[in-house]
Amino acid sequence: MKKLILWILTAALCLTACASALAAAGDRTLVHLSTVDGYMNAYISNVFLTEDGVAVYMNGMESKLVVYREGEEPAEYLMEEDEITNVPDEDGEEGSFISSYTQTLGWFTWQGNMYAVQYRSTSEGENTTVEGGFVKKARLEDGRVKLEDCDIPQLDWTYMIEEWGPGQQSSRGLNRMTVTGGMLVGSSWDNSGSNVLEVFDLSTGRAEEIPMQDMDSIFPGTEGTLLMTRYEWSENPIEYIIRYDLAAQSEEILGSVQLTDGQVQGICLDEKNNTLYMAMNGEIRAARNMDLENTEAVTDCPLSYDANMLLLEDGRILLWNQNAAVIRNPDPAARGETFTLTVQDMVYSENLSDAVYDFTDARGDATVVLKRGGLTSGILQAMMNRDAETDIYTLLYDSSEFDALRKRGFLADLSGNAALSAAADRMYPFLQDALKQDGKLTAVPTGLSGSAIGIHHDVWKKLGGTEEELPRTWDQFLDWLGTLPEKVDGTEYGVFDTWMDRESFRSNMLNILLNQYQSLLNEGEMDYAFNTPLLRGLLERLDSLDYDALKLAEPHYEEDGGMISYDGETYREPLLDIYTDVTLETWSGAAQPLLLSLEEGREPILPVRLSVAFVNPYSEHAEAAAEYLALSMKNLRKNVVYSLYTDQKEPVRDPYFAENQKQLTQWLEEAKAQLEKDEDNRAMWEENIRMYEENIADNEKNSWMIRPEAIEAYEERTRWLKILSYDFAGAMTSADNGGGDYYTMVWGYAQQQVSAQELLSGIDKKVQMMRLEGN
Amino acid sequence: MRTGKRFQLRLARALLALLAILMLLPMVQTFLYSFSSIPEMKAFMKTRGSRDEAAWMEAHLSPHILSLGQYEQILIKDHTVLGYFINSVGYAAAILFGQALIIPALAFGLSKFRFRGREVIFFLILILMLLPFQVTMVPNVLTLRFLGMLNTPWAVVLPMWFAPFYIFLLRQYMIALPDELLEAASMDGAGPFRSFLRIVLPVCRPVLGAAAALSFAENWNLVEQPLTYLSSRPELMPLSTVFNQLAGENTGFEFAGAALYILPALLVYLFFQEDILSGIQLTEMK
Amino acid sequence: MYKKFRQAWPFLLPGLAGLLLFYFIPFVGGVWYSLTDGSFENKFVGLQNYTTVWQNQMFQLGLRNTMELSLICAPALFLLSFLLAAVLHRIRPAGAFFRSSVLMPYLMPSSAVLIIWLLWFDYGGPVNRLLTVLGGQRVDWLMGAELRLPVILLFLWKNLGFCVIVFLSALQAIPDVLYEYATLEGAGFRKQTFAITLPLVVPSAFLVLILSFVSAFRIFKEVFFIGGAYPEEPLYTLQNYMNNMYGKLNYQNVTTAAYIFAGMVFVLFGVLFLSQRQALRRLNGGD
């Protein structure tokens, strides 16, 4: 008997433990459209509540409605094809058509039904006209969304039609559609581009446009009202929460929030409990009894930027924006045994925000609060205080703070996490050297980039140049530059982009040279000084280039400080590109970095700026933090992944490649078929066929996201890649406090007002002092 | 011999006059410059730093056009300078207020009471007077952070309430006060506190005025403390820290700002001049 | 004089508490920082920090500069103010205006005046103009070692007033009667000076000397405005070093340097104090 009771008790205990482990009950990610591939295949344009669930309307390759019902698999309903008609024009010229298409602008629910708002755009000859405001009732059946006519009259679309040219009309968008008090309300803009509220009476179709200045966003309120946020910018920005009465067109300020970082992303009012929920800075905060001074963080908000918020029947909150829709439970009691991982992301890493979804779904017992921005100086102080509040930080590898943390041992050891260790071992040596200290992994990358001057090899070939002729050192490069104006003369190519001006060129070159030189100094072989004959010589040569021959014009400055550098010359395809990235590039038109060394006999250096994430050694959730970082590594963009790991050899196709090929092949087939039937227009069809075949071949050759040639080229140059570490010259920008500004010197040099000698000795003076002080 | 003496006198006066002019010139010039128009000032300031051996900066002793443009700019159009000015006023007021409550009392305690360790404490205070700000900077930051006051105005105000120099000044003055005063008072039945209020303070008026003026001069010109303690709240900075930036950017109205900033100090000076003089004279300087 | 210690408490308490909290404790508490290494493990390293800091090139530069500047500024201030006070004392009633004007700069915020000051010493400014008129060469005052002169002059300009007043009051405190009496007794100027003036002035002189040094150490404020965190070499003072270390959050070095500096200051004042005692004894004894 005793044993039975014991079993029952144990079972009960297990069950409750399970329940609390699945705590924050009901937290779910419904949809997360990640941008891992660098492309957004689809985006969420509307989310609304249906009778039995949540409907997400996605636009993209295919427009579809996905409905999430509790306890069921998400049900997909494809939209009917957009109504496109192509009718021969009786009255117009021979062979002209009147074509029209109907587009769904958005969705709303009212009185238990779903409605779509559509407009139709008709093109007749030169003119395009728009008719709008068609409301169709939506019925979900057999995996399709069927739109039917309904009782709601056509909405007066006058305010929504925009004339952007003579006879050219288009429809404005209607954002954040919501129904309140029998009115459909959305935000749009007027002819002068200012924010307006569009209000449509659903019983009469009457429209009204109400100007709304400084309106941040609108959110649904109770009957006849809207909630709005208004952002007031100042040194201490304030966000106002306003209740707007549609009928009376009056505002009532419910309160305001003092913002320290970030903005209020979304709000949602729980009338029953008189609580206002606000999504900001990675969390959802609750203002009980509308007390905006004392808000309480109740759960996390993984969405970055905008967030729309809807209150579900059971009190949970639905958050959505363009690429994600999640449900969160704001009831602190439901949290149970959860802990919060706090991440301070100072370098705005995409992969970290994507990883939030994965992490919270995988672990029911943790939430992630992802904060962006913040002061880097705060990190060192937090370390001195043994502050455990933030678990993960991100910084630039070459920042002085990271350097100090690294040297003083304030980075937690991540080697214990198998996934991270394995990932690190697969990385190129130049990365491993930077990320490991004494064999221990202390940081993981979140992004990397590096500037170099690049050359379009195909253009060089077309100009008759060969590989051997390309310069190997900077001196040779400057010589070679002198020969280029002659080479491009008379061709359709130019040396640089038409819009490149002298100042930008000089300041970028200086940047590249300084970075390379800094890397060289960091190796410790040379005396640590900037004002050396080597560097000075190069900069002085840069001074004496014939800029006019290179068609690098002086920029013109506007009265108000704006800059114009494009002279209105015809576009010439450039040979050289000064903004070339040394990491793996993803589009086909990119230039390849020129491998230039600082002097004869030295190897070329391609400096890379790395941003890293690391774990606070005082963190109380170090293991979970490492797990989170492991997930973040999975969410890195493809080109970053290819830049990091040595084992990535497979070229990657453009995501639209398959679709395009299918479409083209289909048209090819149709054209071929037409060729048989339509003898009269034989020439036209043959032309079309040729065109399609050419396109297909072209696609096959060029439609890559990561080209095989790019992979090869990158692999080759990894020998020369070096991670930039703490940069004295760059550190000067933060160390300066009055009297001699680094930026004015650099800009002065770019404007040819400060000589190379002055610039370098100025840098040297401060750098020497900083070095001698020690750290 | 007579002519000799008169000649000496004349020479002395001439030299002193020159000196006086030099002493006052910066202020006078600031005020003069503040009445030039902004474009004029901008153009003038642009001539700084020119290496041209042939040209000199113009003496510009008086504005070409008398204009209130600079003042208009800082008082009406752009309120940032005014904002910082108000910060300075706030700090000065808060500091003086606290000092008034604490320092005379402390000085009184250290001068008119005999107890063991009195001299030791005073000696320690003397030592503290000698140390520059940087010596206690770091530990002060930690203390303030512990108290949660870092990056708030309190961080600048609070430590100044206990500035050792004024304790020294007041104490030296009070020590010279004859004991008879206090004895008379206590015979009338007044306790130390009443004597302090009714007798000591009024008698100390000159040195209190002097201390107030000197303290004002010091805290009107605070630079290191705000830069260190308020590093993440630039909007709380007093005007003194901002001048460099203003001049560096060649905004054209830095002189009006400077004039505005000098003005209260000038007024304080004129008002308290006599007090300072007599206060110093009567303080025992041993 | 009140004998009852108990009664002193309310007067002393707030002031002493504040002094303790914001001055004594930080000064003493900083010792902990100077004895550890500031890394994650925060090991106790004993006096290692002191040796590293002492041997650091920039620390030595800062120390050298601070000492040089103070040894120029303080005595200069001392002598000049004494001279001026003596002159003012001589011409007594006529000196009122000058007395006022010399005190004014002391109360002026130096940050505001700096703008004008730098204009004067600009390459094309009035000071250079004067120089060329007198037959000299233009000097680039705002660069290099020459920047010391404007800084020193600014220091003198500001602090002269207060010291003059102190000396003046000391001189004025000596009753004329003494001099008259001494003249009657047959004592010459020299004897009078040594027997009367000097002994009575020495305490004030001592004060002025201390004040001069204290102000000289505080010269950092103006230097920082002109030169920034990394000024020209000859202007890089110890406070620059400490400030920069603070900026790098190297608390260890800041506190270590601070204690070294404080130690030297105490030694200096100890010496001054003792020599004052000596001087007084000599003067009074040799009467």
Q: pLDDT band for A36, please (50, 70, 90 cuts).
A: low
The pLDDT, as a whole number, for residue A737 is 42
What's chain B's average pLDDT?
81
Domain coordinates of chain B in residue numbers? 73-282
Q: Does residue A638 sit in the same domain as residue A673?
A: no
Whether the CB of C231 is below 8 Å from some CB of chain A: the reply is yes
Q: Does residue A212 sit in the same domain as residue A74?
A: yes
pLDDT in tens, A532-541: 888 888 888 8
Identity of the residue in B231, B235, B248 whose CB atom sits nearest the CB atom of A235: B235
Residue C275 has pLDDT above 70, yes or no: yes
Identity of the residue in A236, A385, A738 whose CB atom sits nearest the CB atom of B244: A738
The pLDDT, as a whole number, for residue A20 is 35
Q: Which residue has the tokens 């690098």?
A: A552
How many CB pairs below 8 A link A and C? Answer: 67
Is A5 contained in some domain?
no
Rounded to whole angstroms, what are the CA distances from C209 to B183, B285, C273? 36, 12, 10
CA A706/CA A649 separation, integer angstroms: 10
Domain B73-282 has CATH 1.10.3720.10: yes
Is A265 contained in some domain?
yes
Mean of the pLDDT values across residues A657-674?
A: 84
Residue A12 has pLDDT above 60, yes or no: no
Whether the CB of C18 is below 8 Å from some CB of chain A: the reply is no
pLDDT in tens, A520-570: 888 777 788 888 888 888 888 888 888 888 877 777 665 544 555 555 567
Closest-CA distance, C237 to chain A, in angstroms, reads 12
CA dihedral A272→A276→A279→A281, nearest 10 degrees, is -140
Q: Does residue A176 sit in the same domain as residue A325?
A: yes
Rounded to whole angstroms, what are the CA distances from B178 to A618, B113, B211, B252? 62, 13, 21, 56
Closest-CA distance, C137 to chain A, in angstroms, reads 23
Q: Does residue A223 sit in the same domain as residue A87?
A: yes
CA A605/CA A587 separation, integer angstroms: 24
Closest-CA distance, C67 to chain A, in angstroms, reads 19
Rounded to whole angstroms, what are the CA distances from A623 to A315, A423, A437, A634, B251? 33, 16, 19, 17, 53
Q: For residue B234, which residues of chain A lie inside 8 Å, CB to CB?
A: 235
Strands A42-49 and A53-60: antiparallel
Residue A417 has pLDDT above 80, yes or no: yes
- The total number of structural domains in chain A stands at 4
Domain C47-111+159-285 has CATH 2.60.120.680: no
Whether the CB of A773 is below 8 Å from some CB of chain C: the reply is yes
Check residues C56 and B52 and name the one with the higher pLDDT: C56
Q: Does residue A127 sit in the same domain as residue A259?
A: yes
Check residues B61 and B9 and name the one with the higher pLDDT: B9
Whether the CB of A561 is below 8 Å from some CB of chain B: the reply is no
pLDDT in tens, C258-269: 888 888 888 888
Q: Do C40 and A409 touch (CB under 8 A)?
A: yes
Mean of the pLDDT values across residues C15-21?
A: 88
Q: Do B231 and A377 touch (CB under 8 A)?
A: yes
Q: Helix-strand-coil percent breakdown of chain B, rounded to 5?
A: 75, 0, 25
Q: Does residue A530 sit in the same domain as residue A576?
A: yes
Q: pLDDT band for A22, please (50, 70, 90 cuts).
A: very low
The pLDDT, as a whole number, for residue C5 is 60
Check residues A525 and B255 and name the one with the higher pLDDT: B255
What's chain A's average pLDDT?
80
Closest-CA distance, B94 to chain C, in angstroms, reads 16
CATH number of A528's domain: 3.40.190
Could you tell me which residues of chain B have a Cβ less than 8 Å from any Cβ in chain A?
145, 227, 231-232, 234-235, 244-245, 248
Check residues B189 and A20 and name the one with the higher pLDDT: B189
Is A112 contained in some domain?
yes
Residue A5 has pLDDT above 60, yes or no: no
Find the closest chain C residue to A402 by CA distance.
Answer: C248
Q: Which of B222, B216, B178, B221 has its CA nearest to residue B200?
A: B178
Interface test with C, best of A406, A769, A771 (most C CBs within 10 A): A769
Q: pLDDT band for A612, please (50, 70, 90 cuts).
A: very high
Give the tokens for residue A683.
Answer: 């020439």
Extract the runs of DSSP E, i.e. beta strands, from A658-715: 704-706
Whether the CB of A374 is below 8 Å from some CB of chain B: the reply is no
Give the tokens for residue A758.
Answer: 């002055």
Residue A165: exposure state from Cβ atoms within 10 A (0-12, 13-18, ≥19): exposed
Q: Which residue has the tokens 């004030």?
A: C204
Q: Do A738 and B235 touch (CB under 8 A)?
A: no
Q: For residue C244, which residues of chain A lie inside 8 Å, CB to CB?
A: 735, 770, 773
The pLDDT, as a whole number, for residue C232 is 77
Q: Does residue A486 sit in the same domain as residue A376?
A: no
Closest-CA distance, C148 to chain B, in angstroms, reads 18
Mean of the pLDDT values across residues A606-629?
A: 91
Q: For residue B258, which residues of chain C lie inside 8 Å, CB to CB?
A: 112-113, 115-116
How many CB pairs below 8 A link A and B? Answer: 15
Give the tokens for residue A509.
Answer: 């070159």
Check residues A766 and B160 and name the one with the higher pLDDT: B160
Q: Which of A540, A598, A535, A527 has its CA nearest to residue A768?
A: A527
The pLDDT, as a whole number, for residue A616 is 92
3-class secondary structure for A205-266? Answer: CCEEEEECCCEEEEEECCCCEEEEEEEECCCCCEEEEEEEECCCCEEEEEEEEECCCCCEEE
Find the closest chain C residue to A386 by CA distance.
Answer: C40
Is A476 contained in some domain?
yes
Residue A77 has pLDDT above 90, yes or no: no
Classify B274 as helix, strand or coil.
Answer: helix
pLDDT in tens, C63-82: 998 888 888 888 888 888 88
Whether the CB of C144 is below 8 Å from some CB of chain A: the reply is no
Amino acid at A583: T
**Chain A: touching chains (3 or more CB pairs < 8 Å):** B, C
Strands A250-258 and A238-245: antiparallel
Residue A508 has pLDDT above 50, yes or no: yes
Is A295 contained in some domain?
yes
Find the closest chain B residue to C104 by CA distance.
Answer: B269
Q: Do C251 and A384 touch (CB under 8 A)?
A: yes
Q: Do C115 and B50 touch (CB under 8 A)?
A: no
Q: Do C245 and A404 touch (CB under 8 A)?
A: no
Interface test with B, best of C5, C16, C23, C65 (most B CBs within 10 A): C23
Q: Does residue A465 sit in the same domain as residue A537?
A: yes
Q: Do C40 and A617 touch (CB under 8 A)?
A: yes
DSSP summary character for residue A571: P
Closest-CA distance, C157 to chain B, in angstroms, reads 7
Q: For residue A769, which residues of chain C lie inside 8 Å, CB to CB?
A: 58, 230, 233, 236
The pLDDT, as a whole number, for residue A381 is 72
The pLDDT, as a whole number, for residue A516 is 87
Q: For residue B29, which residues of chain C lie inside 8 Å, CB to CB?
A: 116
pLDDT in tens, A158-173: 888 888 778 788 888 8
Whether the CB of C244 is below 8 Å from some CB of chain B: the reply is no
Q: Do B106 and C109 touch (CB under 8 A)?
A: no
Find the closest chain C residue to B282 by CA distance.
Answer: C169
Q: For residue B280, which residues of chain C lie inside 8 Å, CB to CB?
A: 165-166, 169
Strand partners, A592: A455
Range in A741-745, B106-110, C57-61 the model is least confident about: A741-745
Whether the CB of A136 is below 8 Å from some CB of chain C: the reply is no
What DSSP string describes A327-396?
EE---GGGG-S-EEEEEEESS--HHHHHHHHHHHHH-TTEEEEEEE---THHHHHHHHTT--S--EEEEE
**Chain B: touching chains (3 or more CB pairs < 8 Å):** A, C
Q: Does residue A218 sit in the same domain as residue A142?
A: yes
CA B242/CA B226 separation, integer angstroms: 11
pLDDT in tens, A260-294: 766 788 888 888 888 888 888 888 888 888 888 78
DSSP summary character for residue A617: T
CA C242/CA C230 separation, integer angstroms: 12
**Cα torsion A559, A560, A562, A566: sign:** negative
Q: Does residue A329 sit in the same domain as residue A437?
A: no
Q: Do A738 and B232 touch (CB under 8 A)?
A: no
Q: Does residue A663 sit in the same domain as residue A618?
A: no
Contacts of A623 (CB under 8 A, 6+ apart): A416, A417
Q: Do C15 and B103 touch (CB under 8 A)?
A: yes
Whether the CB of C246 is below 8 Å from some CB of chain A: the reply is no
Q: Which of B231, A739, A344 has its CA nearest to residue C246?
A: B231
Q: CA neighbours within 13 Å on the CB side: how many for C95? A: 20
Contacts of C13 (CB under 8 A, 6+ apart): none
Helix (H) or strand (E) holding C69: helix C57-90
Q: Does residue A423 sit in the same domain as residue A457?
A: no
| Domain residue limits at A565 | 451-581+727-773
Q: For residue A379, which residues of chain B lie inside 8 Å, CB to CB?
A: none
Find the closest chain A residue to C118 by CA distance.
Answer: A739
pLDDT in tens, A119-151: 888 888 778 888 888 888 888 888 888 888 888
Whether the CB of A181 is below 8 Å from some CB of chain B: the reply is no
CA C284/CA A184 separation, integer angstroms: 101
Q: Do B22 and C90 touch (CB under 8 A)?
A: no
> Buried b vs exposed e over A53-75: b needs ≥16 C-beta within 10 Å?
bbbbbbeeeebbbbbbeeeeeee
Amino acid at A540: E
